[in-house]
């Protein structure tokens, strides 16, 4: 993959055109592998957000998009889907360039998965109950409508930027909303490609507007009086702040936040199959995934066996250039993230956990870049900070349990409730465990997100759901219209 400055941009996507920024401030997109600048793009200001919200507001209040029949909007998104499919390879390489995701993961989760979302939402929208008539209990009929919320602020994170952008933009558009997207400052490039595809697909001017920027720009967008709903994916700390602002203004809000998910290995688990699964579910995207199962719960009777198998698995994972198809663990997105992960590795040792493999220091191979050594801790107590706090890197904690009830208790002993897995030779027993763990998504001998089903978290992992009919419904308001009402008196 050639890194050059052909990716530079000098405009935002506002009101259907490439629009000059209000200031000359810029963001530098830096390769986490080479530490070199690969692109420079404008940095959004409050004035740029104001212009984007005004365009979205006009498009919603006066434009054609919310007034189209659902089938007309579906036809435009169908065109977008076809264009997206043709550019998936380019999208995958772009995301690997900007945030260091291993290309093997980008070609699975960073580009094809967003396209699969588009297709899934199209299927859901075709059968969605946009309007239905019900017999009223007081006589006459009631027309129940699903109408768009209004102007949506979509705020994705840097770790899976297209995945989390599409999960908001596509259902919002299908429901008739207009959108302002604020990409993370680390990963603005993929949103430019998305904008090109939306424009070519025929999405009307103002229906989607994109302004990249940092935290202050995001706060301005969230608090903007022209915004009707905020859809955010990111840290729990930021989610709390957004929820407070939206609560004060009674704005609709959906939040997909952090996780500290547990993988429960039952006594009858096939360890070879379990390790093959955990190779992905525990360390996907170099550990920079909210659903990563970084707490490994092992039965005391097989504890040493599980620790040894996990250490062997992690030791064989290739660390290096994310553009290399053989790479399984790439760099952290930024130096600050590398430093954060290293501090947690040091903290784990201070807390008394046993370092089995990894630790601080540059891994073998890469001579530069924001890499950390994939790390496994054993003898971890679930009360330790490395077991309770989201590290967002390739750091695993193995925790012993005594019996299934204890395993479920430990899995639930977390402020988070986003995801999890159970590994067993008895599928029925696994399903029984899955029903007891308080998490929004769960897998028996696997982990995935099926776009036909709702995704989201319990507790501090968020509010609301994405995907499935439930995810589409998040972008609608319910209206009841009474017809033929009985005369009173």
d(CA 382, CA 139): 58
| 435 CA to centre of own chain | 24
Is residue 200 part of the annotated active site? The answer reads: no
- DSSP for 424-447, written as a single string: -S-HHHHHHHHHHS--SS-EES--
Q: Rounded to the nearest 10 degrees, how much is the dihedral formed by the CA atoms of 42, 47, 48, 50?
A: 160
User: Is 142 in contact with 115 (CB distance < 8 Å)?
Assistant: no
Give kind and range of the element (H or E) at residue 148. Answer: strand 141-148
- Pick the catalytic residue: 43, 186, 256, 390? 256
> Tokens at residue 448, please?
């995935």
d(CA 47, CA 19): 12
Question: Please, what is the end-to-end C-alpha distance for the chain in angstroms?
Answer: 78
Residue 264, beta-bridge partner list: 297, 422
Taking phi over 0 as left and psi of -120 to 50 as alpha, with beta for the rest, 467 belongs to: left
Residue 134, beta-bridge partner list: 142
**Sequence-separated (6 or more) residues with CB below 8 Å from residue 471:** 121, 167, 171, 454, 455, 465
Q: Is 204 helix (H, G, I), strand (E, B) or coil?
A: coil
Is residue 256 part of the annotated active site? The answer reads: yes
User: Is 425 in contact with 268 (CB distance < 8 Å)?
Assistant: yes
* Cβ atoms < 10 Å from Cβ of 484: 9
d(CA 391, CA 258): 10
- Pick the catalytic residue: 290, 328, 390, 466? 290
Closest C-alpha among 212, 223, 215, 219 to residue 190: 212
> Tokens at residue 67, please?
């007034």
* Residues involved in catalysis: 256, 290
């Amino acid at each position: 993959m050639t890194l050059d400055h052909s990716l530079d941009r000098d405009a935002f996507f506002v009101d259907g055109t490439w629009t000059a920024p209000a200031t000359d401030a810029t963001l530098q997109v830096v390769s986490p592998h080479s530490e070199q600048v690969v692109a420079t793009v404008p940095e959004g200001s409050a004035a740029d957000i104001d212009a984007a919200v005004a365009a979205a507001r006009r498009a919603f209040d006066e434009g054609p998009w919310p007034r189209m029949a659902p089938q007309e909007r579906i036809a435009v998104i169908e065109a977008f889907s076809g264009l997206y499919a043709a550019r998936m390879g380019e999208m995958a390489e772009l995301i690997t360039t900007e945030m260091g995701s291993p290309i093997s993961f980008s070609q699975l989760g960073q580009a094809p998965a967003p396209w699969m979302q588009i297709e899934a939402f199209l299927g859901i929208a075709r059968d969605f109950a946009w309007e239905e008539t019900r017999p009223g209990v007081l006589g006459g009929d009631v027309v129940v409508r699903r109408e768009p919320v209004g102007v949506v602020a979509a705020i994705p994170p840097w770790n899976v930027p297209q995945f989390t952008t599409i999960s908001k933009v596509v259902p919002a558009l299908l429901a008739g909303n207009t959108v302002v997207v604020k990409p993370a400052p680390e990963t603005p490039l993929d949103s430019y490609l998305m904008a090109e595809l939306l424009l070519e697909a025929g999405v009307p001017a103002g229906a989607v507007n994109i302004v990249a920027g940092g935290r202050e720009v995001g706060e301005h967008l969230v608090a903007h009086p022209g915004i009707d709903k905020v859809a955010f994916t990111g840290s729990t700390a930021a989610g709390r702040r957004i929820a407070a602002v939206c609560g004060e203004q009674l704005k609709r809000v959906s939040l997909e936040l952090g996780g500290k998910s547990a993988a429960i290995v039952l006594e009858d688990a096939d360890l070879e199959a379990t390790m093959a699964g955990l190779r992905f579910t525990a360390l996907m995207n170099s550990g920079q995934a909210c659903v990563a199962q970084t707490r490994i719960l092992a039965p005391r009777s097989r504890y040493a066996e599980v620790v040894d198998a996990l250490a062997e698995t992690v030791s064989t994972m290739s660390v290096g250039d994310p553009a290399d198809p053989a790479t399984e663990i790439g760099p952290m997105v930024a130096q600050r993230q590398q430093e954060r992960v290293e501090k947690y590795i040091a903290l784990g040792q201070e807390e008394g956990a046993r370092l089995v493999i990894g630790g601080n220091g540059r891994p073998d191979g890469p001579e530069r870049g924001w890499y950390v050594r994939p790390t496994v801790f054993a003898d971890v107590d679930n009360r330790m900070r490395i077991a309770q706090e989201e590290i967002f890197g390739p750091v695993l904690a193995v925790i012993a349990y005594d019996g299934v009830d204890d395993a479920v208790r430990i899995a639930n002993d977390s402020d988070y409730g986003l995801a999890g897995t159970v590994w067993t030779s008895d599928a029925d027993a696994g399903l029984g465990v899955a029903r007891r763990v308080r998490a929004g998504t769960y897998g028996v001998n696997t982990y995935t997100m099926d776009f036909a089903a709702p995704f989201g978290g319990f507790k501090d992992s968020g509010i609301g759901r994405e995907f499935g009919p439930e995810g589409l419904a998040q972008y609608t308001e319910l209206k009841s219209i009474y017809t033929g009402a009985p005369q009173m008196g």
